[in-house]
Structure 1
Amino acid sequence: MIPAAFDYVAPTTVDDAVRALAEAGEDAKVIAGGQSLLPVLRMRLAAPSKLIDLGRVGELRGVREDGDALVIGAMTTHYDVEGDPLIAEHAALLAAATHAVADPQVRHRGTFGGSLAHADPAGDLPAAALALDAEMVLSGMDGRRTIPAAEFFVDFFTTAMRPGEILCEVRVPKLTGWHAHYEKFNRVAQAWSIVAVAAAVRVEGGSIAEARVGLTNMGPTPVRATAVEQALVGRPATAEAIKAAAEHAAEGTSPTTDGNADAEFRQHLARVLTSRAVAAAAGA
């Protein structure tokens, strides 16, 4: 299908983009890589009056260090996140989760910030961002504000962004020396996750000193498996201990039942995949 007619603007700075969005009103749409929005436009599930393209805003691209954090521009492509040496050194979980996104063509066009702003509970990056205690930096006519990932994802395809705001960058605390793994279960290659688990651990002296675990598609938003994290800390980094801790993975979740899986099966998957992901990260 062909999208409905719309006006188009391609600003070159964040300020110009925010101004254009404010002038356009609430029925405007911001486009980043377009991997989620373009199909919606083609099916006419959305018919914005104006499309604001962030592709020419150079300040929204790239990865840099800022003290104890990495700052990732919202328009940085999945491909660039996956291969960035700073990400590999300080936020390996993001590289692992990004590698699981769709296929190489999508990863070359899709953007890190676009995926987070889309807030699909089956998307691969929100759970990783949640597990890493990422912070979202938003820009609007009233200036900039920062929201932790735990407050950013509100509901299905819904975030805490206000009308007129743009996601500019994501701040991720450095987890240098941690090991990570992203375990994804899907029916066919390149499909959305039925369930996936993002796990990062720090091992000291054969025991798990710290752990971060995020669950994909186990509710309307990404879920932090805090019960698993607590059960892992101080335990030996062995398959048996990890499997026992992973039995807590489904606690506090509210997975849906659909044509791919029912809620009970998703809870089972959460336990199995958590055990696999943590074991792989810990080298067990």
Structure 2
Amino acid sequence: MSFVLGIPRKFKYVKVDSLNEALELLREGSKILAGGQSLLPLLKLRILNVDTLVDIKNLDLRGVSENEKEIEIYSLTTHNEVASKVKLLSKVAFTIADFQVRNKGTIGGSLAHADPSSNYYPALLVLDAKVKVKSKKGEREIKVVDLYISPYTTSMREDEIITSIIIPKKKELNFTYEVYKRGGSAYPTAIVAVAVEGNKYKVSFGGITEKPILFEGEVESENTIKNVIERLREEKIISDIHADSSTRLKIAERLFVNAFLRASKGVSDQFNIPAIENKWKSEVIRGEEMVTVKMKVNDFEMEDEVEPRTLLLDFLRRNGYKEVKRGCDEGKCGACTVIIDGKSVKSCLTLAVEVIGSDIKTVKGLSDIKQLKESFLENFAMQCGYCTHGFLMVTYDYLKRIGKRDDDELLKHSIKNICRCTGYFNIIKAIKTSSSNQ
């Protein structure tokens, strides 16, 4: 039954506050927990089992530094922070999953996870990026082109942690990025990144093969598009339930043509995302069997004992917060969304022990959500009501932190919760009404 409910196998949980301590704990059977948005589904589905989870969110590995030669992004910087602080990667980061996942997922965790459909790999390949990794033996740099070995496998050693990502600055660079998804917070079906510098081009494809592809050469007017497509058709394109190989190839070709034409004309892609800050620090914890958790839920102080593997979703529901719904249990539908320290997060992809000391809100605990609720009612944006709590939570966060803007492009990449009754039209109307009335 526990497997059916999406509960991981038992593990030890350690939240550290120093990089050296984290490196000491890295051994066979242990796994780093950064954002956990890819790791938690694997643990819940029992695809991956670990003896010890080493939570590194307290480490000082967050933020972006920049000089004349390069941009350095520290590994615990969340996707939403990357989108707002690194204009070059704003579209890359802001098209990852949805707002809730981007609030918690990190750039370092994404690269270490090495999913074939990772948004970052194609972009960082054409930008000649590299990563810094550290172990007890010292620090070294790995070019991103050498980092990805095969699906979910990198060239990092088991005792290494990514500490930062470095992107060299180039004066005459035009960078474009295209991504296609079937809907919701699904992984991309195809990704294309193009960098044109002078008469040189680099193009990378992701999501269509087992390993991101990188092509480069000289720009030769119409011949470049023809040559790249010919080379692409020689690759082994993957086929799965989301799209067969021929469909993926057609999508990738169309994305490439659009991206290359824009880059060759001097266009660079970016979104204008307001500054977003995420802080996930909490007390250091070592838990094996049971852990005492203390947190504030809707301004009520709570204390309980839980296993380290207990999901925040289950913790809340067993304590009476039934408005938080269990939906897909894979982190896609968003029905379980709550506000943690001012940020919308999926409680089915969060461990209760991760948020000790946090301030958690459900729809019943938000005092300034009346206008948003009224907008949903006026626009008939509720049918069965099962998804409504999650939609209200992420919309509340979106309007608070992205702002009152009627921007379809930002909206479609932010609020991707699933409505079982397919009431999306009225939900979008309600969100836009709320935005204009803010």
Q: TM-score, normalised by structure 1?
A: 0.85
The corresponding residue for 1:16 is 21
1:119 aligns with 2:101: no
Give the corresponding residue for 1:152: 147
Aligned pair partner of 1:257 in 239, 246, 252: 239
1:245: Cα distance to partner? 5.1
**Secondary structure at the residue paired with 1:225?**
strand
8 Å CA contact 1:70, 1:173 repeated in 2: yes
User: Retained in 1: the 8 A contact 2:16–2:22?
Assistant: yes
Pair 1:265–1:113, CA change in 2 (3 A)? same
- Which entry has the higher C-alpha Rg, 1 or 2? 2
Asked if residue 49 in structure 1 is aligned to residue 16 in structure 2, the reply is no
1:138 aligns with 2:133: yes
Structure-2 change in CA distance of 1:95 and 1:168 (3 Å): same
CA distance in 2, matches of 1:198, 1:190: 20
Secondary structure of the residue aligned to 2:193 is strand
Which stretch of the first structure deviates more once superposed, 105-114 or 172-181? Answer: 172-181
Q: Does 1:6 align with 2:11?
A: yes
> Residue 82 of structure 2 aligns to which amino acid in structure 1?
V
Distance (whole Å) between structure 2 residues aligned to residue 176 and residue 100 of structure 1: 25
Partner of 2:156: 161
The equivalent of 1:213 in structure 2 is: 203
CA distances 1:213-235 after superposition (whole Å, capped 9, x unpaired): 11112322211122xxx25x253
Superposed CA offset, 1:11-33 (max 9, x none)? 22222211122xxx211010111
Contact 1:246 1:275 in 2 (8 A): no
Q: For residues 111 and 196 of structure 1, what CA distance do their matches in structure 2 show?
A: 19
Is residue 181 of structure 1 aligned with residue 186 of structure 2? Answer: no
Superposition pairs of residues 4-83 of structure 1, within 5 angstroms:
4-21=9-26, 25-58=27-60, 60-83=61-84
Query: Runs of 4 or more off by more than 4 Å in structure 1?
Result: 240-243
Q: Is the 8 A contact 2:205 2:212 kept in 1?
A: yes
Following the alignment from structure 2 to structure 1, what is the Cα–Cα distance between the partners of residues 184 and 173? 28
Which runs of 5 or more residues in structure 2 are unaligned? 1-5, 268-438
Which residue of structure 1 aligns with residue 186 of structure 2? 191
Contact 2:123 2:193 in 1 (8 A): yes
Distance 2:75 2:247 in 1: 34
**In 1: Cα distance, 2:255 partner to 2:199 partner:** 21
Q: Percent identity?
A: 32
What RMSD in Å do the two structures reach over aligned CA positions?
2.0
Contact 1:119 1:221 in 2 (8 A): no
TM-score normalised by structure 2 residue count:
0.56
Aligned length: 261
Shift of 1:243: 4.4
Letter in 2 for 1:13: S
Contact 1:197 1:277 in 2 (8 A): yes
Aligned partners of 1:242, 1:234: CA distance in 2, in Å? Answer: 5
Q: How many angstroms apart in 2 are the aligned matches of 1:96 and 1:181?
A: 9
Counterpart contact for 2:215–2:228, Cα < 8 Å: no
Q: Give 1:134 shift.
A: 1.0
Once residues 20 and 171 of structure 2 are traced to their aligned partners in structure 1, the CA distance between those partners, rounded to angstroms, is 34
Q: CA deviation at 1:74?
A: 0.7
Q: Name structure 1 gaps, 5 residues minimum.
A: 203-207
- Contact 1:217/1:255, CA 8 A, preserved across alignment: no
Conserved? CA contact 1:242–1:275, under 8 Å:
no
Tell me how far 1:251 sits from its aligned partner. 5.0
CA distance in 2, matches of 1:14, 1:248: 46
Distance change >3 Å, CA 218–CA 50, structure 1 → 2: same
